[in-house]
């Protein structure tokens, strides 16, 4: 983003955004990902209107009903029903709310905490920097899913605790990124100028330097949005995330595991939902990276 500012010198924020959009638009995959993602947001927001049935209501007369295109399926339950007769399509629709909620919360928490720590480490240096970075090294020494699992074991299995655990294991990446860009920005002349003119440290950190470190952070946010959804689903799958009867996609998979050979559809659709959501977000992430970082685009 810094390069964009220097090369074409757009004087308004609007032009900056248009410039970015021109780059982003050329990437067909990224645009497709964005369209899918926006559609998912609409589905999540209108879940109670769109969903044909309740997500948790049981229908004991229609257990493990196959989807409509298979023999025995019917139009009342388009994607079929699960082992206790809940409508799969409705559960998937309500599940989108959870996945997006998880992504938003985890990324916001990890981003805010990570950026603050990274700014502090990069601005002040010295022992504060050392302490913060050593703690991040310790978090990164553990495989992320393992640490998240153990954190949930300490906190108790629930969706909120799973989100906290995932945010904790993800924020070191934000700290490292912010610190690295802050340190490279600190030696620039505009920072020196701001310092000389007596700008207070807080203002220097958040108003002068931070906006110029945003590009890698935005890309990281997109990538960790998808990782958050994947990890939360994995925790749900292991029984350590959202608890039944929550229609979270990973938890749905865990509940239907024992029926995989008898009723493959109860396993297929929740996983497909996770995969397509994560794929869409990763496509957007790749597009953002190409559009925001001209250096990487060439490769």
At closest approach, how far in Å is the CB of 208 from other proteins? 32
3-state DSSP call for residue 81?
Answer: strand
At closest approach, how far in Å is the CB of 153 from other proteins? 5
Looking at 56, 64, 145, 180, which residue binds other proteins (CB under 8 A)?
Answer: 145
Does residue 154 bind other proteins (CB under 8 A)? yes
Q: In this structure, are residues 147 and 165 in contact, taking their beta carbons and an 8 Å threshold?
A: yes
At closest approach, how far in Å is the CB of 200 from other proteins? 32
Region near other proteins per CB under 8 A, out of 8-16, 48-56, 57-65, 228-236: 228-236
Question: How far is residue 114's CA from residue 116's CA, in Å, rounded to a whole number?
Answer: 6
Question: How far is residue 261's CA from residue 97's CA, in Å, rounded to a whole number?
Answer: 29
- Site size for other proteins, by CB under 8 A? 42
Q: In this structure, are residues 238 and 145 in contact, taking their beta carbons and an 8 Å threshold?
A: no
What mask, x for binding other proteins by CB under 8 A, covers residues 77 to 106? ------------------------------
Does residue 250 bind other proteins (CB under 8 A)? yes
Looking at 37, 77, 225, 237, which residue binds other proteins (CB under 8 A)?
Answer: 237
Q: In this structure, are residues 256 and 266 in contact, taking their beta carbons and an 8 Å threshold?
A: yes
Does residue 268 bind other proteins (CB under 8 A)? yes
Looking at 58, 238, 245, 293, which residue binds other proteins (CB under 8 A)?
Answer: 238
Does residue 271 bind other proteins (CB under 8 A)? yes
Looking at 73, 85, 125, 239, which residue binds other proteins (CB under 8 A)?
Answer: 239
Query: Closest by alpha carbon to 42, among 97, 101, 95?
Result: 97
Query: Closest by alpha carbon to 262, among 59, 61, 64?
Result: 64
Looking at 18, 35, 112, 135, which residue binds other proteins (CB under 8 A)?
Answer: 135
| Rounded (10°) CA dihedral 164, 166, 172, 175 | -60
Does residue 153 bind other proteins (CB under 8 A)? yes
Does residue 244 bind other proteins (CB under 8 A)? no
What mask, x for binding other proteins by CB under 8 A, covers residues 20 to 39? ---------x----------
Burial 100-130 (b: 16+ CB within 10 A, else e): bebbebbbebbbebbbbbbbbbbbeeeeebe
Does residue 149 bind other proteins (CB under 8 A)? yes
Question: How far is residue 34's CA from residue 161's CA, in Å, rounded to a whole number?
Answer: 29
How many CB atoms lie under 10 A from the CB of residue 265? 21
Does residue 258 bind other proteins (CB under 8 A)? no
Looking at 35, 38, 112, 138, which residue binds other proteins (CB under 8 A)?
Answer: 138
CA 229 to chain centre: 6
Query: Closest by alpha carbon to 229, among 245, 259, 251, 214?
Result: 251
Q: In this structure, are residues 141 and 224 in contact, taking their beta carbons and an 8 Å threshold?
A: no
57 versus 137: smaller Cβ distance to other proteins: 137
Region near other proteins per CB under 8 A, out of 16-24, 178-186, 214-222, 262-270: 262-270
Question: How far is residue 158's CA from residue 154's CA, in Å, rounded to a whole number?
Answer: 11
Interface positions with other proteins (CB under 8 A): 29, 134-135, 137-138, 141-146, 149-150, 153-154, 156, 226, 230, 233-234, 237-240, 250, 253, 257, 260-261, 264, 267-268, 270-271, 274-275, 278-279, 282-283, 286, 299
């Amino acid at each position: 983003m810094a390069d964009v500012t220097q090369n074409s010198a757009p004087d308004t924020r609007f032009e900056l955004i248009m410039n970015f959009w021109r780059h982003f638009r050329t990437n067909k995959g990224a645009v497709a990902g964005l369209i899918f993602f926006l559609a998912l947001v609409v589905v999540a927001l209108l879940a109670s209107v769109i969903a044909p049935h309740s997500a948790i209501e049981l229908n004991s007369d229609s257990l493990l009903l196959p989807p409509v295109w298979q023999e025995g399926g019917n139009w009342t339950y388009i994607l079929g029903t699960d082992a206790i007769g809940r409508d799969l399509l409705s559960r998937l629709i309500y599940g989108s709310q959870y996945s997006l909620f998880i992504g938003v919360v985890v990324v916001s928490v990890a981003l805010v905490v990570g950026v603050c720590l990274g700014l502090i480490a990069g601005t002040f240096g010295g022992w504060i920097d050392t302490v913060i970075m050593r703690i991040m090294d310790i978090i990164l020494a553990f495989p992320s899913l393992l640490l998240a699992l153990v954190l949930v074991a300490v906190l108790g299995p629930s969706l909120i605790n799973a989100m906290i655990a995932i945010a904790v294991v993800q924020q070191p990446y934000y700290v490292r990124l912010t610190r690295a860009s802050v340190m490279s920005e600190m030696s620039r002349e505009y920072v020196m100028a701001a310092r000389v003119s007596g700008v207070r440290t807080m203002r220097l950190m958040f108003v002068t330097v931070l906006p110029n470190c945003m590009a890698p952070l935005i890309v990281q946010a997109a990538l960790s949005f998808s990782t958050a959804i994947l990890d939360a689903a994995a925790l749900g799958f292991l029984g350590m995330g959202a608890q039944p009867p929550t229609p979270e996609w990973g938890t749905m998979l865990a509940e239907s595991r024992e029926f995989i050979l008898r009723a493959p559809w109860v396993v297929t659709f929740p996983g497909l939902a996770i995969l397509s959501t994560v794929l869409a977000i990763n496509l957007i992430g790749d597009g953002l990276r190409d559009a925001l970082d001209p250096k990487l685009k060439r490769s």
